[in-house]
Amino acid sequence: GCAVLGNSAALVVGEVDQIRLQYGIFRIHQEVEPEKGSENAVITVPADLSAEERGRIQETAKKIYKALGCRGLARVDMFLQDNGRIVLNEVNTLPGFTSYSRYPRMMAA
């Protein structure tokens, strides 16, 4: 995923994050103590990717944000396929701001 902040031309992007699942689906909000992480996932910020791949993801996030007419802030979640293709998963126009939320962590990195 990638955090985006701003309006129109003046966009700021955070670092790209990466979720690696050990099994099942990503379910941080269903954990008993989500601030301690998820038992089935590891979140890495910045993502364990090359600078080029992270840059491509950041640019793609900005394009999606602009194309959808987003304003203020959003978290753009994507998948990076093995062949290098970036696929949109979802856009969160009201991302979380809890102690375990991804958006603040991406912006702080």
pLDDT tens digit at each of 109 positions of the chain: 999 999 977 899 999 999 887 766 665 554 556 565 566 678 889 999 999 999 999 999 999 999 999 999 999 999 999 999 999 999 999 998 877 788 999 999 8
pTM for the full predicted model: 0.85
- Predicted confidence at residue 35, as pLDDT, reads 60
User: What is the Cα–Cα distance from 31 to 79, expressed in whole angstroms?
Assistant: 23
Least Cα distance to 58 among 19, 104, 97, 4 occurs for 4
Q: How many domains in the chain?
A: 1
Omega of the bond leading into 46 within 30 degrees of 0 (cis): yes
- 3-class DSSP state for residue 25? coil
Domain of 13, in residue numbers: 2-108
Domain CATH code at residue 9 = 3.30.470.20
